Amino acid sequence: MRFTTLTTLTTLTTLTTFVFISLAAACVGDVGGSHRPGPGSGSDRTQSGPCDKLEKDVAIRSSADMSALPRTGCYDIYGKLTLQGQAITSLAGLGPINSVNELDLDHTAITAIDTKHPLGIYGKLTLTGNTKLTNLQQLSFETASTGILIDGNTALTSLDPLGLADPKLEEVDGDIAITGNTALTAIPLGNLTKLTGALTVSGNAQLTSLDLSRLATTGHVEISSNAKLGSLTGFAATTIAGDLAIHGNAQLTSLGTMSALYRVTGSVTIDGNAALTNLAAFTTSLKFIDQSLTITNNAQLTDLGALKHLALVEAITITGNQSLVNCRAVEVDRCTQHPTTAVISNNNNASCNWQCN
């Protein structure tokens, strides 16, 4: 069951007994259901009665399509809500909507999430090509998300529901792709601890920060072509279940901290990050890269961290790093076990000695 009536915290203080009795009565019969009562969008939202259920997918392509939706009380969509096309300029016509399983905003002309009440999401969020949308205030994830796709929203400057303190987005059971949002400056994923799918952050031209510091479980990670991204926080993960690819981030100077990372089940690629000076994020805890290690065309790179202490990697390519003294690349070749011939070339040929300790 999902609830909606909005009250202030002041009102709650004076009506505590009544609210608790109402909540207890309203929740009878919902134990074990697929959707549990939640706090809604933020701690200032409380519940005092059930909303109507729409147990179907709903597609809206014109304001007229909204007229069939409930106009009184509140309602939850136990399915996917899709709003599509330039004829959609506002969400106010959704009336007293409370929550949805999935929300898909597809090439609309909306500028904000202007629903009557905060809108809770119990599954996947998809935002594609909404070129006038500036922020996501009013949205919140009421439980673990089943996926997030935010692509090509060129006026979007903030991702509010990702960084809320209450309710927190701590788990995504699917993929996260945040791509081509050219005005976006931050991606606040600091609460995220578990991602079962892939993380892709690419083509966000104004992005300056990316917080992944609590991410302990993740699949494939790609961070690419974010022109102003200066640093990463690193990850808390012991294993990356897939590839780790960081390439084409022109101002990236640091990969942050990955001191727990033990294994990458795919490949590690660090390519074309012109300002990156070191790979200190890779510590002696990293022992296994199941496929290839590729470090190429990072013009300012001088240090490879502890990569020479890898126990096993399938293949090694370290080329075109103009500031990297070649011995540092040779150490990775000579000191690690790898079944194929390493490719070491076009680095800095200054005289040096390699060593494995």
Q: What does the DSSP assignment read for 123-186? A: SEEEEES-TT----TTEEESS-BSEEEEE--TT----GGGS-SSS---EESS-EEEE--TT--E
Partnered with residue 209 across adjacent β-strands are 186, 231
Q: Are 141 and 160 in contact (CB under 8 A)?
A: no
Whether omega before 167 lies within 30 degrees of 0, making that bond cis, reads yes
Query: 206 phi and psi, to 5 degrees?
Result: -105, 5
**CA-to-CA distance for 290 and 264, rounded, in angstroms?**
6
CA atoms of 100 and 338, how far apart (whole Å): 50
Look at residue 97 in the predicted model and tell me its pLDDT.
98
Number of H helices, E strands in the chain: 3, 22
**Residue 267, φ and ψ in degrees, nearest 5:** -110, 160
What is the pLDDT at residue 61? 97
Closest to 221 in 3D by CA, of 241, 250, 192? 241
Structure confidence at residue 46 (pLDDT): 42
- What number of residues does the chain have? 357
Write down the pLDDT at residue 352.
86
Reported pTM: 0.87
Domains, the chain, in order of start with CATH, read 210-357 (3.80.20)
Q: Which of 131, 221, 217 is nearest to 181 (CA)?
A: 131
pLDDT along the chain (357 residues), means of 10: 41 37 34 36 49 97 95 96 98 97 98 97 98 98 98 97 96 98 96 98 96 96 97 94 98 96 98 98 98 98 98 98 97 97 96 90
pLDDT of residue 48: 58
DSSP secondary structure letter of residue 51 = P
For 349, phi and psi rounded to 5 degrees? Answer: -90, 20
Torsion of the alpha carbons at 296, 297, 301 and 302, rounded to the nearest 10: 70
Closest Cα partner for 266 from 239, 286, 247, 284?
239
Q: What share of the chain is helix, strand, coil (3-state, %, to 5)?
A: 10, 35, 55
Q: Compute the C-alpha angle 20/96/105, nearest 5°.
A: 120
Dihedral of CA atoms 86, 91, 93, 97 in degrees, nearest 10, equals 140
